C-alpha cells in the first residue's frame, strides 16, 4: 500500500483509474451521487471518483433501501451517471442482488456501462440498511459469500474491474475477531479491497480493525456515523479510500423541502427564484454548451440580445467612497455593482455587454464585457454616453443605468415582453411627500396587479416638482432600464440624429430621449414591477444595498 503507483493518464479506462485509487499511496475520497446531474456535480467539485450509494439511489426512486428498486432500474440510472462523467464509479451493490449467478450477470452489465467496480456486503438478500436495526440483521454464510466473490471475479472482462467486499460484522455486533476472520476470507477469495463498516459515533473499532488488518489489502471506510473524526486520522491509518456516502441526497432533500414549503406558503416564486440554481446553470450541467455552440454555427439567430450599461459617473454624493473607482465598482456584499449586473445579463444568455466608462475607467476589472469611453463625462449626461455606444445598439438591446440592483425576474420579463421600445416602471410609488424625486412616470393606465401582461404605454417622464402634470397622480417611476427592438432601434437612432443638433445635447438624459419619442408619436410600452429593485444614489442607498444583495443574490 506504500508503493508509489503511476498516475493514470486521461486515456486510462475508468476501471484502471478506480484500481489506481484503491492502490494509491495516499488516502483518496469518493462522494455519493444518485443520478447524472449529481454525478456531474461531484466530478466538477474535483473528486476523483463517485460512490453510487444504494441508500441514495433508492431514495431518489422514493423507495426503501431494502432492494425495493430492482437491479435493472439501478443499472439504468448508472448508465446516465457514467455517460455524464469521466471519473470512475463504484456501485454500492448491496448483497449483489441475489446469489452468485445474479452477481455474474450484474458484473457483465456494469462493465458494459463502464462502471468501474461494485461493492457487495455480507448480508442476506433482500438487504436492510445497516443503520436500521443493524444488530438484528443476520450475516451471510462465509463460504457462500466467498463463492459469490469468486463468481464475480471469474465473470469480469476487464482485468481492472474491482469487487469490494463489505464486512458488516461490526454493524451486526459480532465483534472484531469475526470482522477480521471474514475480511481475510473475502481477501483470499479475490476481493480487490475490504470495506469495513461501523455505526459507532467514534472511530475506535474501525481503528482497531485497521491496526490488526495491517495493510493486507486496500481498506475502505464510510465515516457517516463517526464524521467528527479528523480526516488526518484516516490518513495516518493508511486508509485507501474514504467514502462520503449519502450527503448530496440529504442536502437535496433538505433544500427541496424548504423551497416546497416556501412556495406553498407564499403562492409565488418571487421569494425563492434567486435562491435556487438558475435554469441556465441546469442547462450547463446538462452539457448544453456543445449544443449552443452547434446552434451558433448551424442555426445562427438574428434575435440575440445585447446590453449597454451607462457607467461613466463617479457618483454625485458618493465621492467619499468613490475616490479610487467609479460608482459601478462599489462593492455590495463583496461583489461590485457592475459584476452583479453583468452576472444578471449572463444568466439571461445576454453575453454581448458594452459598458460606457468615464471616471477612472482603468479601475473597471470586470471580465466578459466591452468598454466604450465617454471622454466628456465631467460635463455630459447619460444620453451622450448612449451616443458613444451606438455601434453596440443592435436590433435587440437592453439599455440600463449601471447602479441598479434588482431581482432576476425583472430582466427576464423585460426580455420576453413584446414591443418596439419597452421601459420598466415601478408602480410601488412612495408617499406624496416624496414626489419631488425625478423620473416620475405617467402612463396610459395604472398598474392593475390582477391583470397579467397589461398593454400600458408611457406618456411622460418628469421630475415631479417641475412637472406639467402636478395635478395628476403619477403611475410610478422609471427605474433606469429599457429595451429597444427592431424598429425601436431605428426610432432611437433617428431621434439622436435630431437631438445631437441641439445646443444642450450634452445635458440631455434618457428620459429626455423617451419624451422626445413620445412627442413624435412612437409607442413606448411599459413593464410594471412592484418594488424588488434598488439604485445607488447616496450613502443611505449604499447602506441598504448590502441587505438587498444578500436577500436577492
Per the annotation, the verdict on 65 as an active-site residue is yes
By the 8 A CB rule, do 275 and 62 touch? no
Strand partners, 399: 308, 482
Classify residue 224 by its DSSP letter: S
Instruction: Provide the residue count of the chain.
Output: 553
Task: Copy the grid coordinates of residue 343.
Answer: 452576472
By the 8 A CB rule, do 123 and 137 touch? yes
Strand partners, 165: 120, 194
Q: How many C-beta neighbours within 10 Å does residue 480 have? A: 21
Nearest Cα neighbor of 247 from 276, 227, 269, 277 is 227
Burial of 496 (0-12, 13-18, 19+ CB in 10 A): buried
3-state SS class at 103? helix
By the 8 A CB rule, do 510 and 382 touch? yes
Which residues 6+ apart lie within 8 Å of 115 measured at CB?
14, 52, 78, 82, 89, 91
Strand partners, 440: 462, 477
CA separation for the pair 35, 539 (Å, rounded): 48
CA separation for the pair 234, 259 (Å, rounded): 36
CA separation for the pair 178, 175 (Å, rounded): 6
CA separation for the pair 69, 80 (Å, rounded): 16
By the 8 A CB rule, do 31 and 244 touch? yes
CA separation for the pair 152, 154 (Å, rounded): 5
Check whether the bond before 471 is cis (ω within 30° of 0). no
Give the CA distances from residue 137 to residues 140, 223, 225, 427, in Å, rounded to whole numbers and listed in that order.
Answer: 10, 20, 18, 65
CA separation for the pair 474, 464 (Å, rounded): 9
DSSP-assigned letters across all residues of 129-171: -TTSSGGGPPBPPHHHHHHHHHHHHHH-SSTT-EEEEEE-TTT
Catalytic residue (choose from 2, 65, 519, 541): 65
Within 13 A of 89's CA, how many CA atoms are on the CB side? 33
3-state SS class at 92? strand
Q: How far is CA 480 from the centre of its chain?
A: 29
Nearest Cα neighbor of 92 from 34, 140, 37 is 34
CA separation for the pair 513, 496 (Å, rounded): 8
CA separation for the pair 532, 69 (Å, rounded): 45
3-state SS class at 117? strand
**Residues with catalytic annotation?**
65
Amino acid at each position: 500500500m506504500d508503493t508509489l503507483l503511476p498516475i493514470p493518464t486521461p486515456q486510462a479506462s475508468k476501471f484502471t483509474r478506480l484500481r489506481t485509487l484503491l492502490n494509491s499511496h495516499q488516502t483518496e475520497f469518493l462522494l455519493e451521487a444518485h443520478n447524472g446531474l449529481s454525478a456531474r456535480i461531484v466530478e466538477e467539485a474535483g473528486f476523483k471518483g463517485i460512490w453510487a450509494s444504494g441508500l441514495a439511489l433508492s431514495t431518489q426512486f422514493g423507495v426503501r433501501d431494502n432492494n425495493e428498486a430492482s437491479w435493472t432500474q439501478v443499472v439504468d440510472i448508472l448508465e446516465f451517471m457514467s455517460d455524464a462523467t469521466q471519473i470512475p464509479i463504484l456501485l454500492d451493490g448491496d448483497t449483489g442482488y441475489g446469489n452468485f449467478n445474479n452477481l455474474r450477470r450484474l458484473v457483465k452489465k456494469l462493465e458494459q456501462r463502464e462502471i468501474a467496480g461494485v461493492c457487495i456486503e455480507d448480508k442476506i438478500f433482500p438487504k436492510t440498511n445497516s443503520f436500521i436495526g443493524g444488530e438484528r440483521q443476520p450475516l451471510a454464510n462465509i463460504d457462500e459469500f466467498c463463492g459469490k466473490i469468486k463468481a464475480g471475479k471469474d465473470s469480469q472482462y476487464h482485468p481492472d474491474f474491482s469487487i469490494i467486499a463489505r464486512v458488516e460484522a461490526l454493524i451486526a455486533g459480532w465483534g472484531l475477531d469475526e470482522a477480521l476472520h471474514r475480511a481475510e476470507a473475502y481477501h483470499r477469495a479475490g476481493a480487490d479491497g475490504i470495506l469495513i463498516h461501523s455505526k459507532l459515533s467514534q472511530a475506535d473499532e474501525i481503528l482497531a480493525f485497521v491496526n490488526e488488518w495491517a495493510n493486507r489489502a486496500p481498506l475502505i471506510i464510510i465515516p457517516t456515523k463517526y464524521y467528527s473524526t479528523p480526516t488526518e486520522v484516516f490518513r495516518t491509518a493508511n486508509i485507501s479510500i474514504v467514502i462520503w456516502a449519502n450527503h448530496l441526497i440529504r442536502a437535496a432533500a433538505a433544500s427541496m423541502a424548504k423551497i416546497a414549503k416556501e412556495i406553498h406558503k407564499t403562492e409565488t416564486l418571487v421569494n425563492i427564484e434567486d435562491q435556487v440554481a438558475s435554469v441556465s446553470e441546469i442547462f450547463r450541467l446538462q452539457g448544453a454548451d456543445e449544443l449552443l455552440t452547434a446552434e451558433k454555427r448551424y442555426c445562427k439567430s438574428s434575435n440575440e440580445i445585447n446590453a449597454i450599461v451607462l457607467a461613466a459617473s463617479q457618483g454625485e454624493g458618493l465621492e467619499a467612497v468613490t475616490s479610487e473607482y467609479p460608482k459601478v465598482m462599489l462593492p455590495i456584499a463583496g461583489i461590485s455593482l457592475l459584476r452583479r449586473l453583468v452576472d444578471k445579463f449572463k444568466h439571461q444568455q445576454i453575453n454581448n455587454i458594452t459598458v460606457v466608462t468615464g471616471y477612472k475607467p482603468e479601475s473597471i476589472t470586470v471580465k466578459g464585457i466591452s468598454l466604450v469611453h465617454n471622454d466628456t463625462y465631467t460635463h455630459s449626461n447619460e444620453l451622450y454616453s448612449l451616443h458613444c455606444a451606438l455601434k453596440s445598439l443592435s436590433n435587440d438591446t437592453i439599455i440600463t443605468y449601471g447602479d441598479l440592483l434588482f431581482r432576476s425576474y425583472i430582466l427576464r420579463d423585460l426580455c420576453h415582453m413584446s414591443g418596439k421600445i419597452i421601459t420598466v416602471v415601478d408602480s410601488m410609488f412612495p408617499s406624496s411627500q416624496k414626489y419631488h424625486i425625478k423620473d416620475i412616470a405617467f402612463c396610459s393606465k395604472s398598474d392593475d396587479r390582477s391583470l397579467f401582461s397589461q398593454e400600458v404605454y408611457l406618456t411622460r417622464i418628469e421630475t415631479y416638482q417641475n412637472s406639467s402634470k402636478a395635478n395628476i397622480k403619477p403611475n410610478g417611476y422609471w427605474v433606469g432600464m429599457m429595451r429597444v427592438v427592431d424598429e425601436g432601434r431605428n426610432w432611437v437612432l433617428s431621434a439622436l440624429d435630431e437631438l445631437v443638433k441641439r445646443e444642450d445635447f450634452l445635458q440631455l438624459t434618457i428620459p429626455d430621449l423617451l419624451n422626445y419619442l413620445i412627442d413624435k408619436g412612437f409607442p413606448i410600452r411599459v413593464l410594471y414591477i412592484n418594488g424588488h429593485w434598488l439604485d445607488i444614489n447616496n450613502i443611505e442607498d449604499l447602506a441598504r444595498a448590502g441587505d438587498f444583495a444578500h436577500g436577492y443574490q
